[in-house]
Amino acid sequence: MKRFLIPGAGIAGVLALALASPAAAVLGTLDANQTSTTDAGYAYTTDNPTEQTFTVGLTGTLTGVSVYVGVSQIPEIQVVPAAATPATPPPGASMGVFITATSSGTPVFSGESDIKADAFVTGTADPGWIDLAITPPLSVTSGTQLGLGLTAAPGYNVSWFGVCGSDPYAGGEAWVDVSSTWETVVDYGTSSEDDSLCDTDFAFKTWIDPLVTAPPTSTLEAQSTGSGANPAILLVLATAGIAGAYVMRRRMLMNRR
């Protein structure tokens, strides 16, 4: 593992892109999130995808995600070709983001078929929030735990900011794939004796379009006659007719007098 990210190329089925911060306004309702960015993050090779697991809070549709990252271009002399993996972005992209399932809290990602939805960005970006709309949106249920992963493309360095020394988000953890085995970043830092691998959680936001149940139709509105007339309206018309007939009867009696 190196400070410079040396990814491969070729994720299939990349779906959507949204970069400007105002995009968050149309992505949905803010759901699971961890916004602390006190650690500048560590750059991983494409052989070491990273994920932040998270727990869905709102039942509905996952419409987008946000990650706090810095994307920079690596000097060409330092770029070493690497074999393509299912997590690497396509040509022309600088970073890929993907959603996976989890099992007992651990990301489930061993191939393209494990990617439920994804997105990508192009070009470089100063450290900050990048908002991404995923297409198609993913139906989710409250309490389900998923993984939000990212990786970089050849020639780019991506640092995912997060937090070290505390655990602000209880619904998931920061993970890294080491030789096809998922380890928490903290455990990997301990085993590799690298103090810079210390993130307990990466900085992320998830956006949900909540499932809204339509209000029940009132009994009065649900009733109808064979002609489709509203009985309430019929009742008003009938009452008006009776009143009119009574007035006409009174006038006729007065004229006779």
* Last-in-domain residue among 210, 230, 248: 210
Helix then strand then coil, in percent of the chain rounded to 5, is 20, 40, 45
Tens digits of per-residue pLDDT, 45-71?
566 788 999 999 999 999 999 999 988
What does 77-143 look like in DSSP terms, one character per residue?
GG-------TTSPPTT-SEEEEEEEEETTEEE-SSGGG--EEEEE-S-EEEEEEEEEEEEEEEE-TT
Residue percentage of the chain with pLDDT more than 70: 65
Point out which residues pair with 127 in neighbouring strands. none
150 vs 145: CA distance, rounded Å: 17
Kindly report the backbone phi and psi dihedral angles of residue 198, in degrees, each rounded to the nearest multiple of 5, phi listed first.
-135, 0
Average pLDDT, the chain: 75
Provide mean pLDDT across the span 27-42: 91
Residue 4 lies in a domain: no
Q: Are 40 and 66 in contact (CB under 8 A)?
A: no
pTM of the model: 0.71
Q: Are residues 206 and 238 in the same domain?
A: no
* 135 and 246 housed in the same domain: no
Measure the CA angle with vertex 87, ends 44 and 65; round to 5°.
85
Question: Is 12 domain-assigned?
Answer: no
Residue 180 lies in a domain: yes
23 secondary structure, DSSP code: G
Of residues 129 and 111, more confidence is placed in 129
Q: Are residues 146 and 58 in the same domain?
A: yes
Question: What pLDDT, on the 0 to 100 scale, is given for residue 154?
Answer: 79
What's the whole-number mean pLDDT along residues 221-242? 45
- 247 and 186 share one domain: no
202 lies in the same domain as 226:
no
pLDDT band, residue 110 (cuts 50/70/90):
confident
Residue 246 has pLDDT above 80, yes or no: no
Radius of gyration of the chain (CA): 29
Please compute the mean of the pLDDT values over residues 11-38 and round it to a whole number: 64
Q: Is residue 165 part of a domain?
A: yes
pLDDT digits (tens, 9 = 90+) for 199-217: 999 999 999 999 865 555 4
What's the domain range around 109?
Answer: 21-210
**Same domain, residue pair 45 and 165:** yes
Q: Is residue 226 scored above 50 in pLDDT? A: no
Question: How many domains does the chain divide into?
Answer: 2
β-pairing, 174-178 vs 50-55, is antiparallel
Q: Tell me, yes or no, whether 230 and 142 share the same domain.
A: no
CA dihedral (189, 38, 67, 108) positive or negative: positive
162 plus 246 within the same structural domain: no
Residues 31-46 have a mean pLDDT of 84
- Of 176, 192, 210, the one marking the end of a domain is 210
Residue 58 lies in a domain: yes
Please check the confidence at residue 111 and state whether its pLDDT lies above 60: yes
Question: Residue 13 domain-assigned?
Answer: no
Element (H, E) at 101: strand 95-103
144 with 235, same domain: the answer is: no
CA-CA distance, 157 to 5, in Å (whole number)?
5
CATH number (domain holding residue 169):
2.60.120
Q: What is the mean pLDDT of residues 21-36?
A: 78
